[in-house]
Chain A
Amino acid sequence: MNRLIEQFKRSLVIAGKNIRIYYLKGPVIIFGLVFPLFLTLAFIIGRNISLRELLPGLIGMTAFFTATAVGPSIVPWETRSRTLERLLCCPVTLWAIVLGDILSSFVFGIIISTIPLLLTLSLAVGTLDFVTLFLGLIIANLCFSALSVLLSAYPPTDVPATSMMLSSLVKFPLVFVSGVFIPLEYLPQLGIAVASLSPLTYLVDLARHLILKTGFYPLTLDFVVIIIFTALFMFVAVKLHERGLVKRLS
């Protein structure tokens, strides 16, 4: 147990290092701030729907884009700048390094996605279960961060732009199939089946439950599925990074 705690502390040190180094990198700002901002404007402006009805999609989209902005670039950057080998020489397990990367991505996501959450609070006071929504947002941010670090594992490239581009290829389709633009109840059976494979679906559904009281899945199921996705992404991320390590070091 002591070993686990010690490794977790070292994950926090790695997360701190990542925050200091990678938050201000150009691609992170573009994919994590500029992009979601314009997508949000495109999502809101000119639609004949009330802001309150747009909020679940807005929360989901913001969390998804911001939490996945930092993760894909860290390992490629470390490979390119030749700091990865230095890091791996330290008494830190690979899972602790991956967790550190996930946590730094998570912090970026949670800070930015608090903005639509505060907007929600200002509009939906009274009946809103803010604590549950915030808890859901925390778990979902962790899940999306784990996905982003997983996406940086393959191919084991040392070009951050390549990793960012490939992760965008996964991220964009997920946004369109996750009930952000069209609620799940209006989707055909095939659409619902595809949406069920995306973790974003469950955050948007969770937010619709708590803000609009019209969720598709039971609230507990939303939480459980997001937690399962998080554990799965973390596990696969560690395994894939482990497999690509020799290639990265060569």
Chain B
Amino acid sequence: MNIIKTNLDEYAIVVQGLTKHYGDVTAVDHISFEVRIGEIFGFLGPNGAGKTTTIRMLTGLIKPDEGGAFVAGFDILKNPVEAKQRIGVVPEVSNAYVDLSAWRNLILIGRLYGVPQSKLQENAISLLKEFGLYEVKDKTVRSFSKGMRQRLLLCMALINDPEVLFLDEPTSGLDVESARLLRDKVAQYNREGRTIFLSTHNMEEANQLCHRIAVINHGKIAAIDSPENLKAKSMELQYIEVVFDKLVDLRDFSDSPDIVKISPLGNRLRVYTANPSAVVEFLVDFAKRNRLKILSINTMMPSLEDVFLKLIRGEGAVVK
């Protein structure tokens, strides 16, 4: 890969033309992007889009068929061990050793990272206390709940004090409290200077945490931007939710050129538009003309979920 040195100083992850085939299927198709140092980078996509394959290539588990990547300044193809030494990973399909205690699991991973013994003990105690597992450190992981196991996996990913943290669906299947704790910790570790690469299905999580988001679909990057910019670029997904005191005929709204689509939801009408102020005026006028009372009217920005669905379904799926 021809990546100039200055880029590597600025970016924690540089991906260029990364491609992976499984037989006839192209799981990841020539994707390229960069993740800045200190950024929380969200990686979104539907099931089978290529998220996990991308993470597995970036964390050195599988080799790409084409392209390459630099992680923490190291080429994942030429120096996979050096790159892995500087990252922490919570894989999607992963577990701690259930026959070992939480303590033994942490010490095992720490030794595999070559963390010096005194530093290892110190890190292990500190992490177990931070994640509320210190009291149960000598119990085997077999007796742990899913939330406790996930917290332990995060401890294991942090034991080497990594520069870059890869999290593949870290809050999937967790109860609300554990998921919130994990999200808070991710934000905290980012504030402390770590770069976070977060793959998630949870749009709210991505919206809250991520500085930038990449949406991958059918192995290709569909969009990369900040959550706010992604939403702003999809202004046609704005809608006005209005409730009249009587039922109305939707055909009466065909007079307004600004209305893109109308969806009735119970007694509410969801009116999609790229020009909300004009449509609000139209709706008020419409109510006066037809002697209707407006019980409520709200202008709603598109959610990240709306943008995501638009991107993965293609233009016009939501807006007709």
> Which A residues have a C-beta under 8 Å from some C-beta of B?
3, 6-7, 9-10, 13-14, 17, 20-21, 81-83, 85-93, 245-246, 249-250
Contact indicator per residue, chain B 48-78, by CB within 8 Å of chain A (1) or not (0): 0000000010011110000000000000000
Instruction: Determine if B113 and A90 form an interchain contact, defined as CB atoms under 8 angstroms apart.
Output: yes
How far does the alpha carbon of A245 sit from the alpha carbon of B153 in the complex, in Å?
22
CA of A250 to CA of B81, assembled, Å: 22
Is B4 an interface residue, CB under 8 A from the partner? no
A147→B60 CA distance, assembly (Å): 27
B93, B99, B100: the one contacting A85 at CB < 8 Å is B93
Contacts of A245 in B (CB 8 A): 61-62
A90, B84: Cβ atoms under 8 Å? yes
Contact B22 A89 (CB under 8 A): no
Taking A89-B59, A89-B61, A246-B62 as contacts, is the C-beta distance between A13 and B95 under 8 angstroms? no
Kindly provide the distance from the CB of A187 to the nearest chain B CB, expressed in whole angstroms. 45
Q: Contact: A83 with B81, CB < 8 Å? A: no
A152: shortest Cβ distance to chain B, in Å? 18
Residues in B whose Cβ lies below 8 Å from that of A87: 112
Residues of chain B touching chain A, judged by Cβ–Cβ distance below 8 Å, are 22, 56, 59-62, 81-82, 84-85, 89, 91, 93-100, 104, 108-109, 111-114, 153, 156
Residues of A within 8 A of B94 (CB): 82-83, 85-86, 89
Contact B96 A13 (CB under 8 A): no
| B61 contact from A14, A20, A82, A88, Cβ within 8 A | A88
B91: contacting residue among A13, A14, A86, A92, CB under 8 A: A86
B167 to A: closest C-beta gap in Å = 12
Docked Cα-Cα span, A10 to B115, in Å, equals 11
- Overall SS of chain A's interface: helix
Q: Which residues of B contact A13 (CB under 8 A)?
A: 108, 111-112
Q: Tell whether A82 pairs with B89 under 8 Å between CB atoms, given A88-B61, A89-B61.
A: no
Q: Which 8 A-B pairs have the closest CB atoms?
A: A91-B84, A89-B89, A90-B112, A82-B95, A91-B85, A13-B111, A85-B91, A91-B81
Contacts of B108 in A (CB 8 A): 13, 17
Residues of A with C-beta under 8 A to B89: 89
B95 in contact with A91 (CB, 8 Å)? no
Once the chains bind, are A89 and B81 in contact (CB under 8 Å)?
Answer: no
- A21 touching B59 in the complex, CB below 8 Å, given contacts A13-B108, A13-B111, A89-B91: no
Q: What would 19 more interface pairs be, CB under 8 Å, given A89-B60, A249-B93?
A: A10-B111, A10-B112, A17-B97, A17-B100, A17-B108, A20-B100, A21-B100, A81-B95, A82-B93, A83-B95, A85-B93, A86-B109, A86-B153, A89-B89, A89-B91, A89-B94, A90-B112, A91-B113, A91-B114
- B125 CB, min distance to chain A CBs, angstroms: 20
A20-B104, A81-B95 known; A86 vs B156 contact (CB < 8 Å):
yes
Closest to A80 in B: B95
Decide: B84 and A21 in contact? CB cutoff 8 A.
no
Instruction: Determine the chain A residues whose CB is within 8 A of the CB of B97 once the complex forms.
Output: 17, 21, 81, 83
Report the Cα distance A13→B153, complex, angstroms: 19
